[in-house]
Structure 1
Amino acid sequence: MTPRWIDTLLSNRGTEIAARVLLTFPFWASGLIKLLDFPGGVAEMRQFGLEPAWLFNGLTIFVQLTGSALIIAKRWTWLGAGALGVFTFLTILIVHAFWRLEGERAVMALHTAGEHVGMIGALILVSILALRPRPASQTTADAQRLIAASAGMLHR
């Protein structure tokens, strides 16, 4: 049985929003960096042979920021997660192609590719969870129960 304070924490709307922000952090952070340092993003695209580099950088920024925003806002989550999932899969093929490398570089790329596969799974999961209706009992009282539970004030 799940402890009450864990149940309260996991059913809290704020926890859900925080989880969506954390899940998408690698994407929106990368998108913002590429936006704020556009020439650096273009150089990164060139490094991986993606031409025209300015276009690939712009598309990357668009996919990363828009996909993240859709997931965080819980609007068309499936579309945002799908776009980021395809993007992530393509980075495995283009950037982390461990089967083309040797030695330490191959091992590092393999580990990164594995982490990317895990991220794709998480993006699928957030899409599944977005389809589930939120129980009517989970309202703003969640925050009050969370505070009370964390202070040890809830009675069984």
Structure 2
Amino acid sequence: MPSDIPLRNCVVSLLASPVARFIALLGLCAAYIQGPLTKIFDFNGAIGEMEHFGLHPAVFFAVAVIAFELAASAMVLSGFLRWLGALALAGFTLLATLVALRFWEMPSGMDRMMATNAFFEHLGLAGAFVIVATIDIGKGTSR
């Protein structure tokens, strides 16, 4: 429909803007920025989380997760080796999801339903990071 073309062009221009792209990438990385900041401000809680998931030495894993999530997010947001940061976050998300959201081992009920939803949401996040890496590699914009 010809009347849709101006609207389409407006939407395309908006979505193609550097500001929109940065905001989208920031939204994608938000959990990987908020999580480490929470761990920094409650480091004892971060250690408890690592112990809960059987990761020892817990202090090492807490520091490693904080550094990894912040560094990989910075790569995605800055464009410096964006593809590598995105793939690293995709892999991390898949691994963490398999460790933390084992819904198939839970009894039926609300907790299992919430863990199941979170599991599949995390699969979506990992997929989005793979798309970011694919686009970045395809454009040859990696520095």
TM over 0.5: yes
Once the two structures are superposed, residues 13-36 of structure 1 have per-residue CA deviations (whole angstroms, 9 ceiling, x without a partner) of: 111111111110011110111122
Which structure has more relative contact order (CA 8 Å, sep 6+)? It is: 1
User: How many angstroms apart in 1 are the aligned matches of 2:133 and 2:127?
Assistant: 10
Residue in structure 2 matched with residue 46 of structure 1 by the alignment: 51
User: How many angstroms apart in 2 are the aligned matches of 1:24 and 1:55?
Assistant: 23
**Of 52, 63, 67, which residue of structure 2 is paired with 1:62?**
67
**Of 64, 79, 97, which residue of structure 2 is paired with 1:92?**
97
Task: Report whether the alignment pairs 1:131 with 2:137.
Answer: yes
Task: Report whether the alignment pairs 1:108 with 2:107.
Answer: no
User: How many angstroms apart in 1 are the aligned matches of 2:120 and 2:56?
Assistant: 27
Letter in 1 for 2:102: A
User: How many angstroms apart in 1 are the aligned matches of 2:88 and 2:107?
Assistant: 30
User: How many angstroms apart in 1 are the aligned matches of 2:56 and 2:138?
Assistant: 41
Q: Post-superposition shift, 1:94?
A: 1.0
User: How many angstroms apart in 2 are the aligned matches of 1:126 and 1:100?
Assistant: 32
Q: Post-superposition shift, 1:47?
A: 1.7
TM-score, length of structure 1 as denominator length: 0.80
User: How many angstroms apart in 2 are the aligned matches of 1:69 and 1:62?
Assistant: 11
TM-score, length of structure 2 as denominator length: 0.86
Structure 1 residue matching 2:39: 3-state secondary structure: helix
| Overall identity of the aligned pairs, in % | 31
Residue in structure 2 matched with residue 74 of structure 1 by the alignment: 79
Give the greater-gyration-radius structure (CA).
Answer: 1
Number of equivalenced pairs: 134
Instruction: Give the alignment's Cα RMSD to 1 decimal.
Output: 1.6
